[in-house]
Amino acid sequence: MKISIGADHAGFLLKEQLRLQLVADGHEVTDHGTSSDLVCDYPVFAAAVGHDVAGGVSDRGILVCGSGVGMSIAANKISGIRAAVGTSEEQVRVTREHNNINILTLGARMMDGSAAERLVKEFFKAEFLGDHHARRVAQIAEIERTEHGAK
């Protein structure tokens, strides 16, 4: 699977751990940075990963910041992105199955590396269920087109 990944300074170390694990698991990983723990602005990385996923360059994305929330907010501004903060394996599974999330955001200050790795594995294992969930995801896309003027 092609994965785009990005983090700000707060998420740098966790992103590096996840990137190495993804490569070891055989995924093709595009790392959009950051490349250190020097203070930087998370929206830059959310946009880069979001554009990869929305544009079909990557199948899915992972974003890491201190809480996961800022990255989620920024990524969701991109048409076609459905990003959600992961806090438990069950939550990640359900958001993937019901909401067809294509970007998982994680809070480096909220969990340790092994917990984050479990959430990422669940994100890749779970699949969108379609059916009545597809109708709801289509309604979300329609709101996005209406509100943002996307075509």
Element at 105 (helix H, strand E) = strand 103-107
Residue 83 has φ and ψ, to the nearest 5°, of: -105, 145
User: Cβ(65)–Cβ(7) under 8 Å?
Assistant: yes
Instruction: Tell me how far CA of residue 139 lies from CA of 62, 134, 145, 148, in angstroms.
Output: 24, 9, 10, 14
Active-site residue 65, yes or no?
yes
Tokens of 67: 């809480």
In the residue annotation, 51 being an active-site residue is answered as no
Q: Which of 65, 132, 133, 148 is catalytic?
A: 65
Of the residues 9, 40, 98, 133, only one is catalytic, namely 98
Tell me the CA end-to-end span of the chain in Å, nearest whole number: 27
Q: Active-site residue numbers?
A: 65, 98
